[in-house]
Chains A and B, each alone.
Chain A
């Protein structure tokens, strides 16, 4: 079922990226240069796109820890699975925090969904829609990671304790399902990074 959900989510993000492509290709006003827009000045040095690069590495690292959490889940290693899931959640929360910082910075600089100081007005609407939707996915993922890590830690899946909402028996399979969702969020970021920030 998670695969079916991910497929439908793929279409949602495809539509966002497609509408962004259409807006960018059809506008007669120059598109703002993302390399400059997302540049940061660190210790007096002007580095292009550095925050986005760090966010990319953080999300990839979270995917790595999640993959290992799934692996330990199959080995029924409760402590390591829960710990790695919490590390993943921490990476995810860091990512969302940096995204909040980035949004704040851009809003302070005058980027709005209906306009910005550097060029095509569609830049703001595309940016807020695409990164906002992705950030929402990461946030939901962090919440579920913490919830499932708690269940793993408590040993719910060893005693097949019934779920609070569903009353169905818990299994370690949920760790793999959680992993699928999390890797998908990372996967979407790969495409956003390529098409929105690097293009």
Chain B
């Protein structure tokens, strides 16, 4: 049987996971999407709404990247190289938050409609 074992090994190269794993993740993605839709459906507001939306978003994104895109089984170097730069976009987000608040303030102070 060494021949059979060898072919088995070559076929097992790459990503070999049971189909069930994908179905489970698929199910979870449905649950999480339903959750984020219900947030809107019930009209939740304030911090509860934002934290729930962000939580569901991050969980969905994590499941897709980790399992569907097989990042969980990739080399650590690739994971860092791909995942770290988008996280740094958050710095850009912070900069633009300050910038747009400043623009908003200037618009209110200088361009308010004449009363």
Which residues of A pack against B, CB within 8 Å? 3, 6-7, 10-11, 14, 18, 21-23, 25-28, 35, 48-49, 53, 56-57, 60-61, 63-64, 66-68, 70-71, 74-76, 176, 179-180, 183-184, 186-187, 190-191, 193-194, 197-199
Contact = CB atoms under 8 A, between A and B. Distances in A.
Interface in B40-82: 40-41, 43, 50, 53-54, 56-57, 60-61, 64-65, 67-70, 78, 81-82
B64 A187 contact: yes
Contact of B36 (A25, A26, A186, A193): A193
Secondary structure of the A contact surface, majority rule: helix
Contact of B86 (A14, A23, A176, A180): A14
A21 B40 contact: no
Give the interface residue-count category, chain B: 35 or more
Interface of B: 11, 14-17, 19, 22-23, 25-26, 29-30, 33, 36-37, 39-41, 43, 50, 53-54, 56-57, 60-61, 64-65, 67-70, 78, 81-82, 85-86, 89, 92-93, 96-97, 99-101, 103-104, 107-108, 111-112
A18 B93 contact: yes
A53 B56 contact: no
Contact of B104 (A25, A61, A199): A25
Contact of A187 (B15, B43, B61): B61
B68 to A, nearest CB: 5
